[in-house]
Amino acid sequence: MNTITVFKGDGIGPEITDAVLDILNAAKADLSYEIFNVGEAVYKKTGEFIPQEGFASFEKNKILLKSPITTPIGKGFRSLNVTLRNKYDLWANIRPAKTNPCLNTLFSNVDIVTFRENTEDLYVGKEEVIDDDTVIAYKIITRKASTRIIKAAFEYAVNHGRKKCTCVHKANILKKTDGLFLSIFEEIAKQYPSIEANSLIVDNTCMQLVMDPGQFDVFVMPNLYGDIISDLTSGLIGGLGLLPSCNKGDEYAMYEAVHGSAPDIANKGIANPTALLLSACMMLDDLGQGDVAASIRRALDQVFAQQKYLTPDLKGHATTREFVEAIKSQIKR
């Protein structure tokens, strides 16, 4: 049995966490849980965003399932997601976006996996006030970080029968930073002759994605572009509520829903737990419980196909509980 750490988060976080754990138990996942409340709400009560016991649990178990955490915009503490990624060197953010044929989306041929470098670029958060009217942010790109994320993308392509790897950059303008990332990509691509390799400027990538997403397979890119492009790919499949994500390092792994904490619908019983559920399925795959993950994905597809138990974000009228019970019912069948 695998013991994992669970962070419930803010807003709808506790609701979707409980929903996902309920489904995992119904599917007989071989897991036990160490569960912690974290985030802004906890800080207001205790002065800690993440209790020390939560950090200790993750450091012991190495696996974290995390719900959304509220981050104030433009003030207050830095994103706890960024904090966790840096503290545990979770250098690879992997976000697969795949069209579900049972849902009514703009495109039917999306199957893209985005590999986002997760520890540097503008997300180092290093800023300097020059004067009252001028602020500088530092963009950091290193050979070490670029090499490991690019190699991870090509290895994924080889191991999962993918055909193409695309580097996204802005090296036409940022000739030193993005230029380094692109040159490393071109060097590493030569080591994988079976994988087609190409590169695109980030703005062109956005245009191409909304015109013909079927041309793309595996993406790899620096941190900021990865954040933007992966959100865009989620829009092609129906939204962030359907996009799973994992953050991996050499020792630790964190699986999370990348959508926000949605405080406007918290405690209303209508939140969609799909993104966190699919992230949990990625976790099960990595833990050698792929059969359990497959049974959950099949059940989810069957519920989507029925259309009867879709939550409001999917243009349905079901509650979170009705959605969860429908999935559990399919699993039992």
- Mind telling me the catalytic residues? 123, 170, 203, 227, 231
Amino acid at 180: L
Q: Which residues contact 186 (CB under 8 A, 6 or more apart)?
A: 167, 197, 199
CA distance 69 to 20: 17
Give the single-character DSSP code of 47.
Answer: S
Q: Bridge-partner residues for 114, per DSSP? A: 95, 219
22 Cβ contact partners less than 8 Å away, ≥ 6 residues apart: 324, 328
Yes or no: say if 74 and 43 are a contact pair by the CB < 8 Å rule: no
User: Which candidate, 199, 133, 140, places its Cα nearest to that of 170?
Assistant: 199
Backbone dihedral angles phi then psi of residue 11, each to the nearest 5 degrees: 60, -120
Give, for 115, the enclosing helix (H) or strand (E): strand 111-117
- Answer for the pair 229, 170: CB distance below 8 angstroms, yes or no: no
- Cβ atoms of 253 and 246 within 8 Å: the answer is yes
Q: Other C-beta atoms within 10 Å of 211: how many?
A: 8
* Host H or E run for residue 153: helix 143-159
Report the distance separating Cα 16 and Cα 129, nearest Å: 40
Number of C-beta neighbours around residue 81 at 10 A: 20
